[in-house]
Amino acid sequence: MIEARGLSKRFRDKKRGEIRAVESVSFRCEPGKIYGLLGANGAGKTTTLRMLATILEPTDGTALVCGYDIVEQPEKVRASVGFLSTATALYPRLTAQEMVEYFGRLNGLDEPTLKKRVDDIFKRLDMDGFRDRRCDKLSTGMKQKTSIARTLIHDPPVMIFDEPTLGLDIMTARTIIAFIRECRDLGKTVIFSTHVMSEVEKLCDVIGIIQGGELLAEGSLPQLRDKYAERDLEEIFVKIVAPHYVQAEAS
Amino acid sequence: MSLRNIGIVYKKELTEALRDRRTLISTIVVPLLMFPLLTVGFGAAMVSLMNKAERETPKVIILGAADSPHVLADLKNWRAFNLWTLPLTGRIGSSTKRLGLQWKSRRVSKPTWFGRNRAP
């Protein structure tokens, strides 16, 4: 369960002054459901997700992740969150197995549990063929699988995906999509950001549309279709975002 | 951060470093070769310099040696010096010029290099 309450993030930039990356965003993600954060580049998706994962500290507001406050109990939040993005790097000189084990240990798993979980995950993701290969020798797809295994090792109840399919080929992207669905079926709370409409249509139970750091619309796909009298999500998205997009350009 | 986590991170960093060829070469192989090379090299250079200094015989100029043949013979027997003999009086010749000596009213003055570290 994720509950964002007025999350805001402002950055200071020498040239541009104060930048409002995220402005008082509030939403709820329920267990067993996928929440899709849809927005253009620079809309504030990544900043929002990073605040939820305690990588960034909010300027204002807070969020509860599994009942833990991201500002006051960041360690508890981190233990209950799995964070995956395409930018997630692996340690090049560790093997896939060592990489996953490392994060398992950091998350406080004892050795027998860790061994069992590693075997289980490697089997499930079909990774046994390259478990002893160094990460710098892996293909992009293998690397992505290793990243997934890393986020899963401590069996977190909340999964955060930041543009997880960005720059991946169709086969690898499908693995990720299948994996996100699996997380939902396991009853995990899933939030993910993207600007690929088809992914949102396929996956999301609830869609939040974000632009200029503000959450402009929220609801399930049928709800949004009714409200904006459009069938195509892309059209709905443009209808919602376009006025604000022009505004942002002008200012 | 707990002590356990520090241990986990330390172990991971060590594993990574030990698998990096560049780190291995710069931290282990290079010092392993360089230290003996430097130690032996410096030692050998020092020994050779000392030997050269020991082999070098000091130059001694004896003025008026003809008047003291015994002293001259003893000094020659000693073989520790490179002996030069000059008469007390005489004309300026090539050897006296070379040694920087000057005859002043039939007496020898102090050589110009006297007091410096090395004779010419």
Which chain B residues contact residue A98 at CB under 8 A? Answer: 12, 15
Which chain A residues contact residue B9 at CB under 8 A? Answer: 106
Over 90: is that where the pLDDT of B83 sits? no
Nearest to A93 among B5, B8, B19 (CB): B19
Reported as a single tens digit per residue, the pLDDT across A161-201 is 998 888 778 887 888 888 899 999 999 999 999 888 888 98
Specify if B7 maps to a domain. Answer: yes
What does the pLDDT read at residue A196? 85
Q: Are residues B83 and B99 in the same domain?
A: yes
What does the pLDDT read at residue A245? 72
What mean pLDDT comes out for the span B95-114?
58
Residues A238, A242, A244, CA angle at the centre, nearest 5°? 135
Chain A residue with minimal CA distance to B15?
Answer: A94
Q: Are A210 and A43 contacting, i.e. CB atoms less than 8 angstroms apart?
A: yes
Residue that finishes a domain, picked among B55, B72, B97: B55
Answering whether pTM is above 0.95, one says no
What does the pLDDT read at residue A140? 83
Q: Please name the fold of domain A2-80+158-250.
A: Rossmann fold (3.40.50)
Q: Are A144 and A130 contacting, i.e. CB atoms less than 8 angstroms apart?
A: no
Cα four-point dihedral sign B97, B100, B101, B105: positive
Nearest to A102 among B8, B19, B20 (CB): B8
Q: Are residues B49 and B75 in the same domain?
A: no
What mean pLDDT comes out for the span B59-85?
81
Q: What CA–CA distances, in Å, run from B117 to B48, B78, B91, B110?
A: 21, 23, 27, 15
Specify if B51 maps to a domain. Answer: yes
Reported as a single tens digit per residue, the pLDDT across A64-107 is 999 999 999 998 999 899 999 877 789 999 999 999 999 999 98
Is 0.85 exceeded by the ipTM? no
Give the H/E segment covering residue A244: helix A233-250
Which of A17-21, A119-123, A168-172, B103-107 reaches the highest mean pLDDT? A119-123
From A60's Cα to the closest Cα of chain B, the distance in A is 26
Over 70: is that where the pLDDT of B41 sits? yes
Bigger pLDDT: B103 or A5? A5
Over 70: is that where the pLDDT of B35 sits? yes
Residues B99, B102, B107, CA angle at the centre, nearest 5°? 125
Q: Are residues B25 and B48 in the same domain?
A: yes
Range of the domain at B18: 3-55
B5 touches chain A (CB under 8 A): yes
- Where are the domain boundaries for CATH 3.40.50.300 in chain A? 2-80+158-250
Which chain A residues contact residue B15 at CB under 8 A? Answer: 93-94, 98
From B19's Cα to the closest Cα of chain A, the distance in A is 6
Reported confidence tier of residue A10, pLDDT bands at 50, 70, 90: very high
Which chain A residues contact residue B20 at CB under 8 A? Answer: 93
What does the pLDDT read at residue A250? 46
Q: Which of A180, A176, A233 is nearest to A209 (CA)?
A: A233
Q: How many helices (H) and strands (E) does chain A have?
A: 9, 10
Q: Are residues B33 and B72 in the same domain?
A: no
CB contact under 8 A, A94 and B12: yes
CB contact under 8 A, A98 and B15: yes
Total domain count, chain B: 2
SS3 A10: strand
Per-residue buried b or exposed e for A197-206, using 16+ beta carbons within 10 Å of the residue's own CB: bebbeebbeb
Nearest to A106 among B8, B15, B19 (CB): B8
Specify if B30 maps to a domain. Answer: yes
Nearest to A93 among B5, B8, B16 (CB): B16
Q: Are residues B49 and B80 in the same domain?
A: no
Give the H/E segment covering residue A121: helix A111-124
What does the pLDDT read at residue B98? 59
End-to-end CA distance of chain A: 36
Specify if B44 maps to a domain. Answer: yes
A244 touches chain B (CB under 8 A): no
Tell me the pLDDT of chain B averaged across its residues. Answer: 78
Bigger pLDDT: B68 or A103? A103
